[in-house]
Each structure stands twice: as C-alpha cells, then as structure tokens.
Amino acid sequence: MRFAALSGLLIASALQSEGAAGQDLRIEHVTVVSPESTRELRDFNVSVHDGRITAVVAAAKDAPVRQAGASTLDGRGLYLVPGLIDSHVHLGSIPGMTDEQERAHPDIARAARDQIPRSYLYFGFTTLIDLISTPDEIARWKSHDPVPDTRFCGGAALMDGYPMNYLPKPQRYTGMPYMLVEPQDGVPLPPGVDPAVHTPQAVIARMKSDGAICVKTFFERGFGGVHDLPVPKPETIRSLVRAAHAAGLPVLLHANSAEAQTFGLDTGVDILAHGLWNADETAAPGELTPAVKSILDRVVTAQVGWQPTLQVLYGLQDLFNSGFLSDPMLARVLPRSLIDWYGTSEGQWFRAVVAADIPGADPGAALRRGLAVGIGRAAAATGYLAKHGGRLLFGTDTPSAPTYANPPGLNAWLEIHRLAEAGVTPPQIFEAATLSNARALRLDHDIGTVEAGKRANLLLVRSDPRQTVQAYDEIVKVILGGRVLDRKTLAANR
C-alpha cells in the first residue's frame, strides 16, 4: 500500500509581502531564547522600530529614555522567541473543499478564508512557505489581515507527471506555468506547449522573475489507484538544480519513497519534502532496514534538509475518526460553520474517495493497519536523523490532501508532538522551526532568530520551548513585523 500527499488536488499559489509596517515597540525584562545561542538572555529589553528589531540589550544597560509613541510590553516571567516558520504548506484551497463547493457555500468559504491565516498565527507561525504557488494565488492569500509573512516556491512538475495528473487535459498545460518538458523524438507535444519555455533554465528564470524564493519538484510514480506516472530523468533535475542554484534558489523534492529519496540524493536537491513513508514493505513497523539506513546516512552526510511530515499520515486516518470534528482544539482554528459543513455528507466527499480505494467493510481500520508500517518507519527514520545529526526542517504539508483532518495551525501543533514522540528533542524542534528553516530557505538574513536587524516576528510565551514543547500552546502574544497580536483574538469562534 502506498501513500503520499495529494498536493496535486490543491494546486495552490504565492507571492511575498512584508506585511504592515509595525509600530515602535519595546519588550522589557524578558528572557530571550534564540536558536543561534545556547544561552538564555535573562532580563533583557528588545526594541523594535519599523517592523525590525533594533536592539537586544540587558535591561540593566538599556537607556532609560523611551522613544515617544513607543508601546511597551512587560516581559517579566515570559520568554521571547522567534516566530515559527512552516516550510511546507499549501494555501490555495480551503482544506476539504473543492472550488465548486466553495462557490456553492460563499458564506462558509468567506469565514474560512478569513480565519485560516489567523489559525497559523494562533499557533505561532509568522512565516509560511507555500511550495506550489503563483503570484496571483499569493496575492489572494495576502488580501486577508492579519496574515503571516508568506513566500512561495514554483512547482516544477514534469509534464503529465505528479501532481499535474490530477488536473484535466488540456487545462493542465496552462495551469502549471513552471512545468518541465522532456521532449522525446517522435512524440508530439500537446498543442500550445513550447518546449523552449519549459526547459529547466527557462522555468527557473520565470520563477525567479515572478518572485519565487525556491523550487519544488517531484518524484512520484503514484499512489492509491495510480502507479505509472512519468518521473523526471536525473539529468533534467540536475540541470534544474544547477539553474536554481545559479539563481540563488534552493530546490525541494517531493520524495516519500526509498527510490525517490535516493533520486534526490543522486541529483543534488537541497531538501527532501517528506519523510520516508514508502520503502521495504516487508519490514516491521519501526524497523529500519540496512537499505533505509544507508539512505538516511547519505541524508546526514550530504546535510540535505529533511521534512518528516509525520502528521500527514495521521490526518488521513483521522478522516475515519468519528470524534475528530468535535475535538475542541478544532474549534480554535476553524469557524463553526465550516466544521458543521465537514460533518455533512457533502463535506465527507474526500473520506468517501479514500474509502472507495480500500476494500473491506471497515476502511478506517484497514487504513490504520495499512499505515502502521509507514508511520512506524517514518517515525523511526526521523528519530534516527535526530540522533545522528540530520538536518531536520519543520514542515507540515498542511493540508496535504483535500482532507479536513490536517487543519491549519493545529496541524503544526500536532506535528510538533509527533516529532517529540519520534525522539526529536525540544531544542531540535525549536531549531527546525526557526533557524534551520530560515537557513534552508535562505531567509536567515531576515528571520529565524531574535537579533538586531531581523524582522520583528516574535512570540511571547510562558515557558521555554527548549525545555518543553508545551510552550507552543502557551503563547501570550504573537508579534508580526512589530505588530502585537493578542493570541486570544486570533482564535476562531472567540
């Protein structure tokens, strides 16, 4: 049984924005915890001007004179940490809703689209990377307020491969501006497709001028009922990587099988955008075979970024969990009207699609059994990398498929717990979601730490995230480009 994220059903989009300019702000007598330093800075003052951190100084040494008009936050008893970064999201669609359903329920959709950016902020995510987007789609996402800082990758899918296979022909050829074409002798291209526009070099040039900060490409032969999708040739991806690196863009590969991750290591991509879900199916849950270990050892040696995306598989299972929609945590991130709609037979459409692929009277139980090996392997592989110096990056792939069970913001909170269960320590989780993500996406000049000069994307929390992951649900204030947001005001159904 093979599983993968159905991102193709959600072809999304993106463009960057700096957000609203923040007011002058001073956070006083706070303990600063920042990933570049193992020290915690007790009783410090942090000043913010025009959305950027201007000073991080011991309160005892800070100038007593205040800037006129600056607001202050009393940080006594609190920790100041960098805003979190989710380096793998898809923001184009409302989770679990098709475009057609969205048009049929405009009120539910409006409430959902307004809440979703807040839900990421509610769980501390001030920066999101949409891995398959376009400037138009990101402009739509950015029309809400408040909204996390959002950047995007261009999706360089092989023509007719994953995830283009989910789009109908011939629209698919115009819907993926950055698709790659590998012309073959004697095989005509679809009308209107000019191979010169779809070489690795041309695709990278177009992405770069559209404002993408990264490249997402794919190695996926299929899952569910699909097994024979075309995959790119190694030389195509090597050229893509060369062109991307020349343009300053890191390359992420959708790769969740042993074959795909090996392909990524062989072609020099920077980040593997999933855990190792699919490998030797005869292994026991949690067993790492020598073949899998040798892939993981190469991941460590090459310091390739690795996004475990463990919660994705649980989100698939939760479609069949009858208690999921009444979980009070869900009511913190989604409008009541949307949750109620998910419970209708119309809202259960994707559950029905998944169930139809699974033989037997109890598809939920069969799915859980089928996923146990993949989940066990993915968790064991994550723990192995954590123990051996792998470069773990925090990415959730929210919502990963048209499922409602990987909800925005909450999914990240759940992923944090999956990582902890897999043996990733609190300091490693903290670093993965801040500085490691910033470095991997080449944003570390701007975000990822609490340092003068960086954008003031910060969280005030009640405990130290390097001590306990509980800190991520003890957020008091979310500071977005210097703008202070009370966490309570970000919740749904408040």
Smaller CB separation from Zn ion, 157 or 435: 157
Q: Considering only 1-9, 30-38, 57-65, 159-167, which stretch makes contact with Zn ion by CB under 5 A?
A: 1-9
Residue 7 sits in the site that holds Zn ion (CB under 5 A): yes
Contacts of 398 (CB under 8 A, 6+ apart): 86, 88, 89, 90, 95, 406, 407, 408, 411, 412
Q: Considering only 27-35, 45-53, 389-397, 458-466, which stretch makes contact with Zn ion by CB under 5 A?
A: 389-397
Q: How many residues bind Zn ion (CB under 5 A)?
A: 3
Smaller CB separation from Zn ion, 41 or 214: 214
Residue 397 sits in the site that holds Zn ion (CB under 5 A): yes
Residue 133 sits in the site that holds Zn ion (CB under 5 A): no
Cβ-based burial of 168 (10 A; exposed 0-12, middle 13-18, buried ≥19): exposed
The structure tokens listed for 158 are: 């092989």
End-to-end C-alpha distance for the chain, whole angstroms? 41
Smaller CB separation from Zn ion, 91 or 469: 91
Residue 318 sits in the site that holds Zn ion (CB under 5 A): no
Residue 415 sits in the site that holds Zn ion (CB under 5 A): no
Beta carbon of residue 273, minimum distance to Zn ion (angstroms, whole number) = 6
CA proximity to 52, closest of 79, 75, 19: 19
Which residue's C-beta sits nearest to Zn ion? Answer: 7
Residue 403 sits in the site that holds Zn ion (CB under 5 A): no
Beta carbon of residue 85, minimum distance to Zn ion (angstroms, whole number) = 15
Beta carbon of residue 288, minimum distance to Zn ion (angstroms, whole number) = 24
Q: Kindly identify the residues of this chain, within the stretch 267-296, that bind Zn ion according to CB under 5 A.
A: none
Beta carbon of residue 261, minimum distance to Zn ion (angstroms, whole number) = 15
Q: Considering only 4-12, 257-265, 388-396, 464-472, which stretch makes contact with Zn ion by CB under 5 A?
A: 4-12
Residue 127 sits in the site that holds Zn ion (CB under 5 A): no
The binding track of 347-386 with respect to Zn ion, each residue x by CB under 5 A or -, is: ----------------------------------------
Residue 396 sits in the site that holds Zn ion (CB under 5 A): no
The binding track of 158-197 with respect to Zn ion, each residue x by CB under 5 A or -, is: ----------------------------------------
Beta carbon of residue 441, minimum distance to Zn ion (angstroms, whole number) = 15
Q: Kindly identify the residues of this chain, within the stretch 423-462, that bind Zn ion according to CB under 5 A.
A: none
Residue 130 sits in the site that holds Zn ion (CB under 5 A): no
Q: Considering only 78-86, 286-294, 313-321, 395-403, which stretch makes contact with Zn ion by CB under 5 A?
A: 395-403
Q: How many residues does the chain have?
A: 494
Beta carbon of residue 90, minimum distance to Zn ion (angstroms, whole number) = 6
Binding residues for Zn ion, rule: CB under 5 A, are 5, 7, 397
